[in-house]
Amino acid sequence: MTAHLGVDLGGTNFRIATFASDGTTPLEVHKEEVGEPRDPETIVTRLAAAAERLAGPGEATLGVGIAAMLRDREGTVANSPHLRWRDVPFGKLLAARLGGRFALGVYNDVNAVVWGEAVGGAARGCRDVLGVYVGTGIGGGVIAGGQLVEGVSNCAGEIGHVKIRWDDDAAPCACGQRGCIEAYVGGSYVARRIADELGAGARSAAIELAGGAGLVTPGHVDQAAGQGDEWALALWSELAPMLAVVLGNALAVLNSERLVLGGGLLGRTPVLYELVTTSLMVAAPVAILEQLTVAPAELGDDAGLVGAAALARSGTSIIRG
């Protein structure tokens, strides 16, 4: 019997799970802190040890979702700020360490998450899916005709770096360019903007809700917006159409059946979520909207594990060691 494993490798923890034959029910989940040292050799050794233990002695499929920008379909990490890796042949190293009994695939973490939602979550049964996650940053994943869209260098879905402004005042983004949607609606930028505006004396019910201007999170802003707070509503009303245009534009090209929205920010800001989906109704072409449903992500932290395992199991971009 072949064992089916999924890994979610982030900057803080890695988790690894075996799955039942349905592909979505975890049988055993193991979690470790990434900690230090976190050089590729150390992480590969630890991951392989955990995988070998969970897989047992037989054949296995192993899908890894990694918080990294990849460069190809063989798991080469171009850059992972989370792991502090650059130009690391992670897939090749792990495949060599695991040997031939493992069919290994390495995927961008957000791509794995979107695939997970399609396998057993908010996009179950859909063959054309756009998933967008607004957390600290903004990431995305695309499924077209039932296949994960990986792109030529496995960088597809980089919707956070879609340009929403291109004038001289466009906001600088951590990617080095300007005007990316992430630089407006990504969680770390939203948090800074909240701090800046409240620090400069803006008044808002969010301050009371948080117990101090320095403690206000996007969640407090959302609560305040829900109570009709003017500053909070103005901020959300500025950001929501920007994100909606980016979503609508991607949908115009993709004609997706299901848009899945999630992430640490959007998952905790129901008023913003509502404003985004409402704005989308004028931002996307009518023919595209007719066939579209929007749904919040369902699987939470498990989506990446489920998706990575399912991608490897489906034979997507298996690495030959």
Positions in 121-150 near a second copy (CB under 8 A): 126-128, 140, 142, 144-145, 147-150
Whose Cβ is closer to a second copy: residue 47's or residue 110's?
110
260 touches 128 (CB < 8 A): no
Nearer to a second copy among residue 2 and residue 293 (C-beta)? 293
Q: Using the rule CB under 8 A, which residue among 29, 34, 69, 174 binds a second copy? A: 69
Q: Which 3 state secondary structure label does DSSP give 96?
A: helix
Q: How many residues bind a second copy (CB under 8 A)?
A: 51
Site map 248..267 versus a second copy, x via CB under 8 A:
xxx-xxxxxx----------
One-letter amino acid for residue 221 of the chain: V
Question: 3-state DSSP call for residue 101?
Answer: coil
Smallest gap from residue 126 Cβ to a second copy (A): 8
Distance CA 69, CA 130 (A): 19
Q: Does 191 bind a second copy (CB under 8 A)?
A: no
By C-beta, is 69 or 195 nearer to a second copy?
A: 69
Q: Which is nearer to a second copy, 17 or 143 (CB)?
A: 143
156 binds a second copy (CB under 8 A): yes
Smallest gap from Cβ 271 to a second copy, in A, equals 20
In the shown chain, the binding pattern of residues 266 to 285 toward a second copy, with x for contact by CB under 8 A and - for none, equals ----------------xx-x
Output 5 or 159, the one with its CB closest to a second copy.
Answer: 159
- Tell me the residue type at 212: G
**Binding residue for a second copy (CB under 8 A) from 32, 52, 158, 298?**
158
Q: Which of 174, 216, 172, 171 is nearest to 195 (CA)?
A: 216
With binding defined as CB under 8 A, does residue 241 bind a second copy? yes
- Is there binding between residue 288 and a second copy (CB under 8 A)? yes
Token duo for residue 12: 């803080």
Residue 177 interacts with a second copy (CB under 8 A)? yes
**For a second copy, the closer CB: 22 or 167:** 167
Distances (CA, A) of 300 to 108, 120, 185, 190: 16, 12, 20, 22
Using an 8 Å Cβ cutoff, are 108 and 307 in contact?
A: no
Q: How far is CA 115 from CA 104, 107, 108, 169, 317, in A?
A: 16, 10, 11, 36, 14
**Site for a second copy contains 287 (CB under 8 A):** yes
> What 3-state class would DSSP assign to 319?
strand
Distances (CA, A) of 320 to 62, 201, 239: 13, 58, 44
Radius of gyration, CA atoms only, the chain: 20
CA distance 174 to 239: 18
DSSP class of 11: S
Judged by the rule CB under 8 A, the positions of this chain that interact with a second copy are 69, 71, 78, 126-128, 140, 142, 144-145, 147-159, 161-163, 166, 175-177, 241, 245-246, 248-250, 252-257, 282-283, 285-288, 290-292
